[in-house]
Homo-oligomer: A and B are copies of this chain.
Amino acid sequence: MTQSTISKSHMVVAQNASGRNMNVPIYRITGSKPGPTVYIQSSIHGAEVQGNVVIYQLIQYLKQLDVCGEIILVPNCNPVGTNIKAGEYTLGRFDPVNGTNWNRGYYYDEQKVHEFAETVSAQESLSSVKQRFRAFWRQAINEKLSSGWGLGLAQQLNLKLQLLAVDADIVLDLHNGPVSTRHVYLPEYAADAAKLLNIPHTILIPNQFAGALDEATFCPWWTLQSLISAQRQEAVSCNVEAMTLEMGSQEVIAFEEGKQDAQSILSYLSKRGIINDCPYEPLAMHRVGVYLKDYRTLYTQWGGMVEYVARPGDKISAGEPLARVLNIDELDNADATFTVTAPCDVIPILHFPSASVLSGTQLYKAFTRYFDITSE
């Protein structure tokens, strides 16, 4: 086996109020043989830190493995969000200046894909199409980035990261939920990848852009291959996959769990041809899927103190308790507590991380109308 090589660089993504550059580390593992390009980042939401450990463990494994192609790893990809404390916790989900979610400013423009598709002739090889499309897309992102009046901080950060990912065949964006079980967002066309990851819960998402990196990756390719398939009247696949992996709960890292997470990703990468002789195979496990429209958020209509009775990952039948609420003004009577029950059969995937909730809080996000994935 020939050894892969690892190199490290840093990219400036922002400047703080002291005028100092803020940069992200970029690790590149170059295999001894050609192969796909993989892009993996973590912590675009600053409090979601387990992905950094996953990348650490991946690097330890990959140093020993036979890699084909290139793997680009960007841990801690949001140096602003990582470092905003509000109390003891990390205010990492949005820009504290304006509330902008750090994960909604990636570039996509459906019109641009149509524009490009018109340049594709019936004879052009798919590899040529892909190569030209990457250059075209990189150009579009660069134009956006250099617009004369500038861009907001989150968008600048997102686009600089997206440029690192634009050549990738596989894009993995590592996140965490608040208090959460592991789950993954996959585009519907790549649903079979769910079986290659050791993650029990999969959300299948349609070809719709809401600003995140996975969507910003698969929406153009999905749209492009749909247009070409229509033109050529045969199913064409660009073989680009992008997904968001939610590696458990925010604000926590666990090195041992990170090893399991890394092995899960290695299993998947191995099946996609990036690793030769990989010692890790997808585990036999119960996997459950849901369509995005059936991944529901349960909001509160009340404020109070909550015990989260249902644990993420548990199957809860309609009518069974999800949460128990304390009403501090009624401790002397029967209204002191009440129970929130499941409106239908659900698997809670994550819940709010604080006992104290106002009305309109995302109490739980849950699978409804879920199905068995392994048996598909």
Interface of A is mostly: loop
Q: Return A24 CB to nearest CB of chain B, in Å.
A: 9
A371 at the interface (CB under 8 A from B): no
Q: Return A249 CB to nearest CB of chain B, in Å.
A: 10
Among residues of B, the one whose C-beta sits closest to the C-beta of A46 is B356
A34 at the interface (CB under 8 A from B): no
A231 at the interface (CB under 8 A from B): no
Residues of B within 8 A of A178 (CB): 88
Residues of B within 8 A of A88 (CB): 89, 97-98, 178, 352-354
Q: Check B253 against A355 for contact (C-beta < 8 Å).
A: yes
Q: Check B82 against A84 for contact (C-beta < 8 Å).
A: no
Chain copies in the assembled complex: 4
Q: Which of B15, B55, B151 contacts A331 (CB 8 A)?
A: B55
A200 at the interface (CB under 8 A from B): no
Among residues of B, the one whose C-beta sits closest to the C-beta of A151 is B299
Q: Which of B79, B86, B355 contacts A96 (CB 8 A)?
A: B86
Q: Which 4 residue pairs spanning A and B have beta carbons closest together?
A: A153-B360, A150-B299, A94-B99, A86-B86
Binding site for B on A (CB under 8 A): 6, 8, 10, 14-20, 25, 27, 46-47, 49, 52-53, 55-56, 59, 73, 75-76, 79-80, 82-101, 148-157, 178, 251-255, 296-307, 324, 326-329, 331-332, 336-337, 343, 352-362
